[in-house]
Structure 1
Amino acid sequence: MKPFTEQNYYEVLEVSPDELPLGIRLAYKKSFELYQENSIASYSFFSEDERQEILSRIEQAYLTLINPETRKEYDQSLIASGLLEEERTFRDRTKKPIAIYNFQKTLLDSPAPARRFGELKLRIEQNPVIRDLLARDILGGSDLQKLRTVLDVTLEAIAEKTNIRIDILRAIETENLDLFPPLVYLKGFLRSYIRYLGLDERVVLDAYLKKLGLH
């Protein structure tokens, strides 16, 4: 069996290259639960650093494969490397799945989230605290937490809708760099967080990365 770090994303999640998006979601949840801090397998066989590395790899695999565009790009890289045959890739011939990042498409498909998004926009426009924060060039984790609190959004709600682990969301708000995934995936998490709050993705993301010195 290949070492975990050498497995491709399909092998990490133990799914076939033509797996449906629902199967990828279920595989991700199963893998995540297996390596949680309180799981028997995690406790018995892995150090904390190893467990975090595995969870990070699982997150990377999920975020890549659940998004149709990044999945297609990843499949093409495997095909180019001779690691995957094109006929074995997933092709959605009916309806494209909603990626966890595609908040705008979700709004179009679901009236309830659309109403919620409209309410958030109204709060953002009318609240002076939010306007003041969004006018800043630099935003820290505590500022994101303040924005979320003023908008009356819980971390649990964000975690449920985006499938981002709640400890990662807390790490973003506390700027706990030790728990951060690689930058490319951190940006993906931040975009999901920001979009769920109905904020300007470019403005808030840039301001937060400036605070961390990562812009």
Structure 2
Amino acid sequence: METAENYYELLEVEASASFEEVQKAYEKKLEEVHEESLAAYSLCPVEENEDLLRKLSEAFMQLADPEARRTHDLKLESKPIQEEISSKPYLAPTTPVVKTKIESSSPSNEGKVVFLRPQLKTGGFSTSTGEAFQAKVSDTQKPNPITKLNRQNVSASLEEITHQSAKLRQDAFQNLAGKNKQTDAKLQEYYQFLEANEGVVRYSGSVLHQIRELKGITIMELATVTCVRGTYLESIEKENFKIFPSAVYLKGYLHCYLKALDLPLDQVCEQYMKLFDDWQEEGSENNSF
């Protein structure tokens, strides 16, 4: 059985992380790879950096899509359950017993040990002689009506905003997936046109631009899904390489761009980054004179 990739571990975030936290973690990882690539005596080969970039982009795009994230979480949840069923015998559930001492001014209760069993509902305890203890707990847990009201309002507002944000992202991903599927035949016709006129399909910035236009996808839609600035997305299509801090950032954003457009990652990235390498070499030659 294939082991599910844990994207939370890859990005080093909690499973409960918000979308903003996932995005910050992805950007931090890109920065780490960038710094690693600049190290004079890097212990990480270029091939490993390439593979890591691919995995990071895949992780970010999966966790950014609410529907894909739910599927990912279900895969992670099914693995430990299956392992536990196959490797451990069935044990009847037991309620944990807590041993404690009740402090009381009464001589009859002094030093008396009582076994407390947690209730399933709230944080109270049930004991045979612990009524006074339970009363103290109840008093300390009584909420301030004003504070409770304010917290509920703030919590409801945050939950509503978070829900709306997730709904917008989910709709954006679904809309993009629909356009990719509906234009598959047109894309194949475009490939045939390129092959007939140029002999082969070369994924340059202008070709990527034509593909995006053919699919009817706007830069704004891509920016919403990939969370990459529209300026960078347009620069990918215009081959404006000087705007990118390094090749690492270009590759990371390019991976998200290609994933969103449902294009072959390895083939396109290899051809496109060759354009970047040529641009760098040309710049080096010009600076040498």
Provide TM-score, normalisation by structure 2. Answer: 0.38
Larger Rg: 2
